[in-house]
Amino acid sequence: MSSETGKILTTDGIPLEESLKQAEKKNKIKAFLLVAPLLLFLIITYMIPIGDMFSRSIDDKMVTNMLPKTYKAMETWDGKELPPEEVFEAFYLDYKILVKNKTAGKLQTQLNYEKNGFKSVLKKLARKQKKFEEGNYKEQIMKVHKRWRNVEYWRAIKRRAPSYTYSKYLKGVDMYSNEDGKVVQVSEDRRIHRILWIRTVEVAFFVTLFCFLMAYPIAHLLATLPMKYSNLLMICVLLPFWTSLLVRTASWMILLQQQGIVNDFFVWTGLVADDNRPEMMYNKTGTYVAMTQILLPFMVLPLYSVMKTISPSLMRAGKSLGATPAVAFFKVYFPLTIPGIGAGCLLVFILAIGYYITPALVGGASGTLISNQIAYHMKSTLDWSFASAMGLMLLTGVLVIYWIYNKLVGVDNIKLG
């Protein structure tokens, strides 16, 4: 804006526009400084770990680092026929160092993943290479084992060259890339992850559904009861919320186990025989019950906050206009609670899909979820890159759900309170 006819000047003679910009700049810097600690905190505790997780999940430099000369020499090899002498020489030199450092075992394992039978060939080479003479390594190596004459084995080494791999992600869905570089499923008896994924989504879905079915009437009651009763009910909803998760999970164990209170009651009433007590714990039932109870407040609160804003005269208006109570409910009341339903369901679903402690404690074998598998790989097998890969898959899944939700309902329709 530079109208020549007359800029407005401040009393100091500075153009008003500039002086305003200066004043605003100060404010902007101040505002930024105020949020900077939070931003920094988010970057350090959220963005960096996720970035690290990602790089860890695709990181595959192990073989590349072990065979630096070989891969350099292989750059010019087209992979059609046996590689030239330089490659053999480079491989010999690399392998010699590995054998000397006693780290050849890792390479053997890694290459065996690529091509079955590689391990024994490499082991034999480790023994024989001590007697190698200088020059013409191609002949010498090929003499050690006839498989070195098979171009497949050299291709397997070359295939292992990229420093990045998505094999962990494939493993997460029970697949792998075979010798031909094709992505195939693992044998049927080893497919455990896919079951876990499906179970996780299933549990999260049904927990969300149960929470919704239970929370809707509670929230409605909360929003419509007179103050003195609704406060009491609110405390009943919040009290478990304030109680430690472990305490609540443990209470469910006490209640639901085979010798637990609920089973005792069933036996006492004669509903079930003493020697035929149903298993309600350490299986999916236990996971459902405990998770629904724990996540219920996350559904009640957004629903309540939305229902509170709906004027009771709307239902009355619906009825006075001739709608039966049911029609008035579904045409008038229910559509107005959708923002709350969306918020509650999204919240519960996302919390449920990554739930760890409760399924770990009460899930047993048939009630554990993908998060338990991730924890297992982090703590027991120490396969962090696989754990990272599965964690990221979970995160991606949540983002996809969020995206679908946004498409269907619109995120701006969410009301958390």
Residue 320 as a binder of other proteins (CB under 8 A): the answer is yes
By C-beta, is 14 or 321 nearer to other proteins?
Answer: 321
> CA separation (Å) from 283 to 274, 288, 362, 365?
20, 9, 7, 7
Residue 229 as a binder of other proteins (CB under 8 A): the answer is no
Binding-site member from 81, 313, 379, 412 for other proteins (CB under 8 A): 313
Residue 324 as a binder of other proteins (CB under 8 A): the answer is yes
3-state secondary structure the chain: CCCCCCCCECCCCCEHHHHHHHHHHHHHHHHHHHHHHHHHHHHHHHHHHHHHHHHHHHECCHHHHHCHHHHHHHCCCCCCCCCCHHHHHHHHHHHHHHHHCCCHHHHHHHHHHHCCCHHHHHHHHHHHHHHCCCCCHHHHHHHHCHHHHCHHHHHHHHHCCCCECCHHHHHHCCEEECCCCCEEECCHHHCCHHHHHHHHHHHHHHHHHHHHHHHHHHHHHHHHCCHHHHHHHHHHHHHHHHCCHHHHHHHHHHHHCCCCHHHHHHHHHCCCCHHHCCCCCCCHHHHHHHHHHHHHHHHHHHHHHHHHCCCHHHHHHHHHCCCCHHHHHHHHHHHHHHHHHHHHHHHHHHHHHCCCHHHHHHCCCCCCCHHHHHHHHHHCCCCHHHHHHHHHHHHHHHHHHHHHHHHHCCHHHCCCC
Least distance CB 331 / other proteins (angstroms): 7
Residue 332 as a binder of other proteins (CB under 8 A): the answer is yes
Least distance CB 299 / other proteins (angstroms): 21
Residue 325 as a binder of other proteins (CB under 8 A): the answer is yes
Residue 277 as a binder of other proteins (CB under 8 A): the answer is no
Least distance CB 319 / other proteins (angstroms): 4
By C-beta, is 69 or 319 nearer to other proteins?
Answer: 319
Binding-site member from 335, 379, 380, 412 for other proteins (CB under 8 A): 335
Residue 311 as a binder of other proteins (CB under 8 A): the answer is yes
Residue 321 as a binder of other proteins (CB under 8 A): the answer is yes
- Distant-in-sequence, close-in-space partners of 157: CB < 8 Å, separation ≥ 6: 67, 70, 74, 91, 111, 114
Least distance CB 318 / other proteins (angstroms): 7
Task: Pick out residues in 336-355 that bind other proteins (CB under 8 A).
Answer: 336
By C-beta, is 65 or 313 nearer to other proteins?
Answer: 313
By C-beta, is 195 or 317 nearer to other proteins?
Answer: 317
Residue 270 as a binder of other proteins (CB under 8 A): the answer is no
Least distance CB 311 / other proteins (angstroms): 6
Number of chain positions touching other proteins (CB under 8 A): 19
Residue 76 as a binder of other proteins (CB under 8 A): the answer is no
Binding-site member from 328, 361, 369, 414 for other proteins (CB under 8 A): 328
In this structure, what token pair is assigned to residue 76?
């010019």
Binding mask of the shown chain, residues 78 to 107, with x at each position contacting other proteins by CB under 8 A: ------------------------------
Binding-site member from 322, 365, 408, 412 for other proteins (CB under 8 A): 322
Residue 410 as a binder of other proteins (CB under 8 A): the answer is no
Span interacting with other proteins, options 6-14, 79-87, 309-317, 372-380, rule CB under 8 A? 309-317
Give the binding site for other proteins (CB under 8 A).
Answer: 311, 313-314, 316-325, 327-328, 331-332, 335-336
